[in-house]
């Protein structure tokens, strides 16, 4: 595996991405892969500063286009500084969210349009696409309940349910558009059952590389 492997994990807020990531890392490491964990927005010093701007609840006046461009700016830095060099070294990069998040949150949720958001992101990533995307599928209302039980909600999480429902529909559309890359896994199961389903998908991918 000389060119590395780029795996992303996606889903509505509270779908269980952060919970599953350590299991995925452990599974791949047991197989001998060097795995780098990262996230968006963020993943670099500059990206983490942009993340703070994006998630800060004080930034009520942020317009939708600024939001889309800031996510893309964080991503451009991330791709150039972190993801591409790691892939060139043959590593596995496991990223919590990537372009699909922008397409569904900004394109669909904010209604900026899927094509517009995709083209901004093609520029930001120079067209880099994941080898595999795990999409955790849960009713958005259920996911939000999980989040609210535990933590202080951020600027995006505090959006109304209607917004999150649009995001959820966006993910459904994307998974229909890219069935080879995006593997949908029910997140309405126990943590153990979800990670076992994810491992099945990873086994298939690893046989192909």
Q: How far is the CB of 71 from ligand TYD (least distance, A)?
A: 4
Q: For ligand TYD, what does the binding mask look like between residues 15 and 54, x meaning CB under 6 A? A: --xx---------------------xx-------------
Cα 190 to the center of its chain, rounded Å: 21
For residue 19, the partner it binds in ligand TYD, ligand ADP, none, with Cβ less than 5 to 8 A by kind, is ligand ADP
Looking at the Cβ atoms of 17 and 183, the one nearer to ligand TYD is: 17
143: its two tokens: 């996911």
For residue 41, the partner it binds in ligand TYD, ligand ADP, none, with Cβ less than 5 to 8 A by kind, is ligand TYD
For residue 156, the partner it binds in ligand ADP, ligand TYD, none, with Cβ less than 5 to 8 A by kind, is ligand TYD
96 binds ligand TYD, rule: CB under 6 A: yes
C-alpha–C-alpha distance, residues 84 and 158, integer Å:
33
C-alpha–C-alpha distance, residues 46 and 107, integer Å:
24
In the three-class reduction of DSSP (H, G, I as helix; E, B as strand; rest coil), residue 186 is classed as strand
Q: How far is the CB of 196 from ligand TYD (least distance, A)?
A: 22
C-alpha–C-alpha distance, residues 16 and 61, integer Å:
29
Residues 6+ apart with CB under 8 A from 198: 20, 23, 24, 27, 134, 185
Q: For ligand TYD, what does the binding mask look like between residues 128 and 157, x meaning CB under 6 A? A: -------------------x--------xx
Q: Contact, 96 vs 9, CB < 8 A?
A: yes
Closest-approach residue to ligand TYD (CB): 105
Rounded to 10°, the helix 64-78/45-55 angle is 160
Residue from 171, 173, 206 nearest 187 by CA: 171
97 binds ligand TYD, rule: CB under 6 A: yes
For residue 191, the partner it binds in ligand ADP, ligand TYD, none, with Cβ less than 5 to 8 A by kind, is ligand ADP
For residue 37, the partner it binds in ligand ADP, ligand TYD, none, with Cβ less than 5 to 8 A by kind, is none
C-alpha–C-alpha distance, residues 39 and 77, integer Å:
12
- The site for ligand TYD (CB under 6 A) is made up of 13, 17-18, 40-41, 55, 71, 96-97, 101-102, 105-106, 147, 156-157
């Amino acid at each position: 595996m000389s060119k590395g492997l780029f795996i992303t994990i996606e889903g509505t807020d509270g779908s269980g991405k952060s919970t599953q990531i350590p299991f995925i890392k452990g599974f791949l490491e047991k197989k001998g892969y060097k795995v780098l964990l990262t996230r968006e927005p963020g993943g670099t010093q500059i990206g983490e500063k942009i993340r703070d701007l994006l998630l800060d609840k004080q930034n009520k006046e942020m317009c939708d286009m600024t939001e889309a461009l800031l996510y893309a700016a964080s991503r451009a830095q991330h791709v150039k500084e972190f993801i591409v060099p790691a892939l060139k070294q043959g590593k596995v990069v496991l990223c919590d969210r990537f372009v699909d998040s922008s397409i569904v949150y900004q394109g669909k949720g904010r209604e900026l349009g899927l094509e517009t958001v995709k083209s901004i992101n093609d520029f930001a990533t120079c067209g880099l696409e994941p080898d595999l995307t795990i999409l955790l599928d849960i009713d958005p209302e259920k996911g939000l309940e999980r989040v609210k039980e535990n933590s202080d909600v951020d600027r995006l999480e505090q959006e109304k349910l209607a917004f999150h429902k649009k995001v959820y529909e966006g993910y459904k559309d994307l998974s229909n558009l890219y069935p080879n890359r995006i593997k949908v896994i029910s997140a309405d199961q126990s943590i153990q059952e979800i990670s076992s389903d994810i491992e099945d998908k990873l086994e298939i991918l690893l046989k192909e590389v």
